[in-house]
């Protein structure tokens, strides 16, 4: 019996490594492949898991897909990596991503773009920024992958690649070892082939960590849990009593009409299973994108200040005859050649938003919008937000348990050819896409993308389930139902 088990465990990993060998060259999902190691027995012993390139590992390089860190190996492991290793997971390698998590197509990478494995010859984008994680799972190179999500970076590639992507409630998973893009938004996410695997990985890494000052304390975790059990809805397959909100603002003009139809079909199926559909409005949604880019860029400009080539990372020496009198001027050479275009653009935007003249009109205004967005959500959910002090409202019967909306405005777009990659058009559409994902990021809410629809082109589109803070378990349960509809 034991022998049989061992053989089957080994075969899982072997299967993953065989897929890596066969497909990675074309897909470009993994940027580093690890050798198998002796692993302890644990709940994830049968899983091959890849880790995004912006999560620190001592045994593998952590490049953030940037020239700045292309030869960097962290002196410590991220807490999530330790948790995976302790649970016996087979860590197969590091995944490609947009540089420092900034991007929606996984094209801003020193390792080159990721090609969506759904149909390789079409050369479509795997989405970003966690494109490598989603593509690695979709191509069978691993059962699950750690991703990160600042404004949609887990959910969007999951949607494009036809896999499951969870951005948990902010604070549930330790950020110690996740290389910051925007601390107040960054979350470690999980991408996996199915909802059950997603949940298994989530259950292992969702643990309080004193090393993360923004980690939700056990008190908040249990308070969110008791909110969930109080509702005690939807425990036995039936969706009776489950109230699903459909936010009208999440169907913008840019949404591909061919997605609306399959999404409606999903809604009717859920209704047939007993769920109540409730049209809701989140009026602040339209300001979310601007607020997100101001806040995320401001934090990025601050967080990326540390990459100066002094303590670690790439260093570009000053050219002969260059002015070395000010530290700024010396750093400029390293920073100018170490960061890619998208990163530089956001650093500049963020730097401006924090200047004395712009701070009130941009940064503070964006923070106010963020608060309003949170209140928008708190108003429509039946469960109170455990983090709001005092709780914004008591649970009402009119509230909804979860929200449902398409994860993306379209199926995976074609990878930009070198000629179009810098065109204004491409850039703007990438930002519009974020409109569907950034509100949950700004509010710190759990959001799960499940591949429940297909566009007219036959490519997958995800459906997103969004819940109140801490209701990750409920979100996963609804996701499981959505997954069943696909079959």
User: Is 153 designated active site?
Assistant: yes
For another protein, which residue of 39, 175, 193, 243 counts as binding (CB under 8 A)?
Answer: 175
- Is 182 a residue that touches another protein (CB under 8 A)? yes
For another protein, which residue of 143, 194, 299, 376 counts as binding (CB under 8 A)?
Answer: 299
- Is 389 a residue that touches another protein (CB under 8 A)? no
Q: Which of 109, 129, 169, 464 is catalytic?
A: 129
Residue number with CB closer to another protein (310 or 322): 310
- For the stretch 218-248, what's the b/e string if a residue is b when 16 or more beta carbons lie within 10 angstroms of its beta carbon? eebbebbeebbeebebbeeeebeebbbbbbe
For another protein, which residue of 201, 298, 442, 465 counts as binding (CB under 8 A)?
Answer: 298
Residue number with CB closer to another protein (56 or 105): 56
Residue number with CB closer to another protein (69 or 107): 69
**Which residues in 405-444 contact another protein (CB under 8 A)?**
none
Residue number with CB closer to another protein (258 or 351): 351
Min dist. Cβ of residue 146 to another protein (A): 13
**Which residues in 183-202 contact another protein (CB under 8 A)?**
183-184
- Is 97 a residue that touches another protein (CB under 8 A)? no
Residue number with CB closer to another protein (183 or 196): 183
For another protein, which residue of 273, 312, 393, 486 counts as binding (CB under 8 A)?
Answer: 312
User: Is 52 designated active site?
Assistant: yes
Min dist. Cβ of residue 142 to another protein (A): 22
**Which stretch in 102-110, 129-137, 181-189, 200-208 sits in contact with another protein by CB under 8 A?**
181-189
Catalytic positions are 52, 129, 153
- Contacting positions for another protein (CB under 8 A): 55-56, 62, 64, 69, 72, 74-76, 78, 175-180, 182-184, 210-214, 298-299, 301-302, 304-308, 310-312, 327-328, 331, 351, 354-356, 359, 363
């Amino acid at each position: 019996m034991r022998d049989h088990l061992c053989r089957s465990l080994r075969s899982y990993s072997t299967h993953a490594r065989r897929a890596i060998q066969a497909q990675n060259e074309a897909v470009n999902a993994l940027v580093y492949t690890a050798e198998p190691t002796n692993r302890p027995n644990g709940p994830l012993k049968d899983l091959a898991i890849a880790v995004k390139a912006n999560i620190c590992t001592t045994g593998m390089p952590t490049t953030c897909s940037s020239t700045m860190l292309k030869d960097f190996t962290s002196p410590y492991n991220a807490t999530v990596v330790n948790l995976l290793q302790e649970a016996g997971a087979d860590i197969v390698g590091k995944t490609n991503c947009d540089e420092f998590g900034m991007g929606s197509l996984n094209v801003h990478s020193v390792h080159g773009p990721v090609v969506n494995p759904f149909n390789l010859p079409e050369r479509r984008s795997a989405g970003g920024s966690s494109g490598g994680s989603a593509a690695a799972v979709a191509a069978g190179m691993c059962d699950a992958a750690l991703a990160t999500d600042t404004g949609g970076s887990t959910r969007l590639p999951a949607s494009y690649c036809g896999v499951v992507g969870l951005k948990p409630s902010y604070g549930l998973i330790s950020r110690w070892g996740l290389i910051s893009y925007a601390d107040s938004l960054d979350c470690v996410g999980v991408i996996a082939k199915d909802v059950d695997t997603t949940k298994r990985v989530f259950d292992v890494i969702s643990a309080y960590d004193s090393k993360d000052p923004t980690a939700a304390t056990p008190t908040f975790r249990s308070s969110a849990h008791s909110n969930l059990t109080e509702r005690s809805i939807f425990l036995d397959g039936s969706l009776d009593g489950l109230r699903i909100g459909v936010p009208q603002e999440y169907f913008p003009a840019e949404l591909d009409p061919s997605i609306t139809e399959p999404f409606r079909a999903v809604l009717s199926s859920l209704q047939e299973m007993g769920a109540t559909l409730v049209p809701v409005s989140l009026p602040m949604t339209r300001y979310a994108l601007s607020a997100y880019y101001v806040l995320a860029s401001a934090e990025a400009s601050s967080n990326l200040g540390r990459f100066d080539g002094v303590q670690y990372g790439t260093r570009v020496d000053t050219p002969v005859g260059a002015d070395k009198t000010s530290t700024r001027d010396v750093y400029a050479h390293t920073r100018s050649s170490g960061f890619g275009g998208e990163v530089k653009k956001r650093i500049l935007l963020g730097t401006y938003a924090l200047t004395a003249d712009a701070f009130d009109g941009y940064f503070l205004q964006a923070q106010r919008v963020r608060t309003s967005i949170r209140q928008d959500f708190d108003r429509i959910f039946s469960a109170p937000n455990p983090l709001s002090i005092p709780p914004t409202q008591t649970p009402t019967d009119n509230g909804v348990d979860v929200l449902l909306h398409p994860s993306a405005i379209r199926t995976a777009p074609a990878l930009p050819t070198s000629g179009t990659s810098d065109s204004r058009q491409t850039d703007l559409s990438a930002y519009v896409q974020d409109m569907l994902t950034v509100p949950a990021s700004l509010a710190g809410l759990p959001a799960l993308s499940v591949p429940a629809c297909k566009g007219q082109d036959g490519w997958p589109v995800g459906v997103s389930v969004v819940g109140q803070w801490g209701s990750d378990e409920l979100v996963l349960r609804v996701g499981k139902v959505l997954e069943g509809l696909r079959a």
